[in-house]
Amino acid sequence: MKKLITIVAMVLAVCRINAAESQKQTVCPVMGGKINTNLFVDAEGKRIYVCCPDCLPELKQNPAKYIRKLEQQGVKLDAAPKPADAKK
């Protein structure tokens, strides 16, 4: 019985870790405000949202920095849409 409880506890811990690692972006990586889903930059195949127009130039200047920052916080960024006219 103790083994079963230990196994269940381990499974629950792993599930909790995975859930925390894959949270959606809710905070602007530049200024820390609540994101506006109408304001974003697509870079490296990912979509990064910001809180205000003032954050866009900073994000555009160094998107890799902010992608890394968000991913280190466990944020799973949305995929940037592929252009409709992309050649396959």
- Verdict on whether the full-model pTM lies above 0.75: no
Tell me, what's the pLDDT at 82?
87
Q: Is residue 29 part of a domain?
A: yes
The CA distance from 44 to 64, in Å, is 8
Task: Give the sign of the dihedral formed by CA 62, CA 65, CA 69, CA 70.
Answer: positive
Q: Is residue 6 part of a domain?
A: no
Q: Is residue 1 part of a domain?
A: no
Q: Is residue 36 part of a domain?
A: yes
Look up the domain containing 59 and give its range: 24-79
Tell me, what's the pLDDT at 11?
66
Tally the C-alpha atoms within 13 A of residue 21's C-alpha that lie toward its C-beta: 6
- Per-residue tokens: 31: 């200024």
Q: What is the pLDDT of residues 55-65, one digit of tens each?
A: 999 999 999 99
Q: Is residue 66 part of a domain?
A: yes
Displacement of CA 7 from its chain's centroid (Å)? 30
Q: Is residue 16 part of a domain?
A: no
Tally of domains within the chain? 1
